[in-house]
Amino acid sequence: MTKYVIGIDYGSDSCRALVVDASNGKELAAAVRNYPRWMKGKYCDPAKNQYRQHPLDYIEVLEASVKEALAKCPAGVAENVVGISFDTTGSTPALTDENGTPLALLPGFEENPNAMFILWKDHTAVKEADEINNLSKEWDIDYVKYEGGIYSSEWVWAKVLHVLREDEAVKAKATSWVEYCDWLPALITGTTGLKDLKRGRCAAGHKAMWDPEWNGLPDEKFLTTLGPELAGLRDNLFEETYTSDVAAGTLSPEWAEKLGLSTDVVVGVSAFDCHMGAVGAEITPNTLVRAIGTSTCDILVAPYDEMKDKLIPGICGQVDGSVIPGMVGLEAGQSGFGDIYAWFKNVLSWPLQFLDDEAQRKAIEDKILPALSEEAAKVPVEESTIVATDWLNGRRTPDADQTVTGTIAGLNLGSSAPRIFRALVEATAFGSRAITDRFAEHGIEIKEVVGIGGVAKKSPFVMQTMADVLNMPIKVSVSEQAMALGAAMFAAVAAGVYSSVEEAQSAMGQGFEKTYYPIAENAAQYNEIYKRYIELGKI
């Protein structure tokens, strides 16, 4: 009897449920739902880099997407679903009460952005991240050493500290915090109480300074020195963490009924989207898997004998088992990628406000990026005289710094929109090279890149530019949904269909549809222009 698993991918804007055949990874059906409040721009303030998401958004889309996906499947599929796993954005934490419930679900907090999930790209906690970095340097234990040596304002402790300082009401009610990759499994398994909430290795190790070397999270003294606001939280958090091959539990009766599934369905411990996406994209050592969308998340795995005791500075952490149990998972990434193109599209769309016909406006907006790509591709590399940095959303890797900003230099009166767009595409590719260079400088070899995500699938101009700049081949996964597929692989392992992640990859992987090879002549020219990118970054 065929078994099925469901991988559920929570992205920045939407949730996607993917039903796959556990024997071969083939997709039976998928369904996507946008977060309704988020799509209205609620609780966000882009000028302040404040981005919050309401837990009700997550709940509402979960039921809708899973039910829609199952409804598209042939009869008999729902009955034979054996596992569900989630992948989500991160670090995207929320403060919770003593039951692990995000505060925004409690009366009085429904409209309070500080009681909601703080999206990965929220950069309101720049000051707090600085404080964590400064205190770490003084402390006898270097709590950030496995997190690239720099704590980012995108990560949980900085965000939690910032919100507790900002908001008395939230501070008074907050008992603990939770990443939503850990909260969603708790929600649908009916787990209540903080002690039973299983925390994933991935989020804890990469973002929360969790490591067995110091028995878990940083000690209470460190946290309260950082800010007295943090006092007592640690006792309501966790010591153990779990890799995603482990089951978090089974579906609660309530959620089994909501989703039309059995209470026997195993729910896996979940992880961040790019980590599961890397598994879905069949990651192996020496291959950098890049999830390329609004930002990038870049994942490597290194066997213990290659990793030894290396510490790679300025990345987003190196954590045993965060990707594949039995190997060290390394994370890097660019804070802005497709978001930068979207920003430029938004800037160019500004005059379209004067069009009364909304359908006409939307039609033109949709043409902007494809047409810019087409025109930009015609510009010879030697005419790429505009140079930009890719830090419009700060910098994640190498050397996290949310205070840096984007710069566009080399402008003249002939600098057209497509030429500026080309410079922005090159900037994102140069930012990619800064990452591969960092790994190479520290003896972790990257031989090829695998691209997943919207930009990888849909933007040949961007991908060819990146291949030229990196001077490496880039393979693009067949799967439209590598993240959800990765979650499905983990669900299959957690449910006992396979005994290891590697076995699931081998059976369920969908292969590659296309390879972009670097053009030698362009690579040589970009090698020179890259030096100007590095110089520009010094201002």
For residues 189 and 249, is the Cβ–Cβ distance under 8 A? yes
**Given its phi and psi angles, is residue 383 left (phi above 0), alpha (psi -120 to 50 degrees) or beta?**
alpha
Shortest separation between residue 94's beta carbon and a copy of itself, angstroms: 22
401 binds a copy of itself (CB under 8 A): no
Shortest separation between residue 381's beta carbon and a copy of itself, angstroms: 15
Among 98, 110, 383, 445, binds a copy of itself (CB under 8 A): 383
Among 355, 377, 446, 507, binds a copy of itself (CB under 8 A): 355
473 binds a copy of itself (CB under 8 A): no
Q: How many residues bind a copy of itself (CB under 8 A)?
A: 47
Among 1, 172, 359, 413, binds a copy of itself (CB under 8 A): 413
Among 34, 346, 499, 500, binds a copy of itself (CB under 8 A): 346
Shortest separation between residue 294's beta carbon and a copy of itself, angstroms: 9
Measured distance CA(271)–CA(453) in Å, rounded: 17
Using CB under 8 A, which of the segments 6-14, 31-39, 265-273, 531-539 binds a copy of itself? 531-539
Shortest separation between residue 378's beta carbon and a copy of itself, angstroms: 12
- Degrees, nearest 5: CA angle 333-335-341: 115
For residues 317 and 343, is the Cβ–Cβ distance under 8 A? no
Using CB under 8 A, which of the segments 62-70, 192-200, 230-238, 408-416 binds a copy of itself? 408-416
Residue whose C-alpha is closest to residue 322's, from 446, 202, 227: 202
Shortest separation between residue 203's beta carbon and a copy of itself, angstroms: 24
Among 14, 415, 471, 515, binds a copy of itself (CB under 8 A): 415
Taken in order 11, 14, 20, 24, the sign of the CA dihedral is negative
For residues 403 and 394, is the Cβ–Cβ distance under 8 A? yes
**Residues 420-439 contacting a copy of itself, CB under 8 A:** 420
Interface mask (CB under 8 A) for a copy of itself, residues 306-345, using x and -? ------------------------------x--xx--x--
AA letter at 345 = K
For residues 322 and 201, is the Cβ–Cβ distance under 8 A? yes
Measured distance CA(291)–CA(322) in Å, rounded: 16
Contacts 24+ apart (CB under 8 A), 20-24: 20/485, 20/488, 20/508, 22/82, 22/83, 22/488, 22/492, 22/495, 22/497, 22/508, 23/507, 24/507, 24/508
Tokens of 120: 């990965």
Among 56, 256, 377, 536, binds a copy of itself (CB under 8 A): 536
Using CB under 8 A, which of the segments 150-158, 244-252, 254-262, 413-421 binds a copy of itself? 413-421
Tokens of 6: 């469901």
If you count them, how many residues does the chain have? 539
Shortest separation between residue 121's beta carbon and a copy of itself, angstroms: 8
Considering the complex, state which of residue 86 and residue 337 has its C-beta at the smaller distance from a copy of itself.
337
Q: Are strands 27-34 and 93-96 parallel, antiparallel or unpaired?
A: unpaired
364 binds a copy of itself (CB under 8 A): yes
**Residues 3-62 contacting a copy of itself, CB under 8 A:** 46-49
Shortest separation between residue 89's beta carbon and a copy of itself, angstroms: 16
Q: What is the 3-state secondary structure (H, E, C) of 336-394?
A: CCHHHHHHHHHHHHHHHHHCCCHHHHHHHHHHHHHHHHHHHHCCCHHHCCCEECCCECE
133 binds a copy of itself (CB under 8 A): no
371 binds a copy of itself (CB under 8 A): yes
Among 418, 454, 460, 473, binds a copy of itself (CB under 8 A): 418
215 binds a copy of itself (CB under 8 A): no
CA distances from 38 to 42, 94, 101, 172 (A): 6, 16, 20, 26
Using CB under 8 A, which of the segments 155-163, 285-293, 416-424, 518-526 binds a copy of itself? 416-424
The residues pairing with 392 across neighbouring beta strands, listed in sequence order, are 394
The set of residues, in sequence order, having a beta carbon less than 8 Å from that of 174 and lying 6+ positions away, is: 95, 96, 97, 103, 164, 233
Using CB under 8 A, which of the segments 197-205, 242-250, 307-315, 359-367 binds a copy of itself? 359-367
Taken in order 164, 170, 173, 175, the sign of the CA dihedral is negative
Using CB under 8 A, which of the segments 5-13, 300-308, 326-334, 410-418 binds a copy of itself? 410-418
CA distances from 462 to 180, 408, 518 (A): 31, 18, 12
407 binds a copy of itself (CB under 8 A): yes
Considering the complex, state which of residue 415 and residue 515 has its C-beta at the smaller distance from a copy of itself.
415
Binding site residues, a copy of itself, CB under 8 A: 46-49, 336, 339-340, 343, 346-352, 354-355, 360, 363-365, 367-368, 371, 383, 385, 392-394, 405-418, 420, 535-536, 539
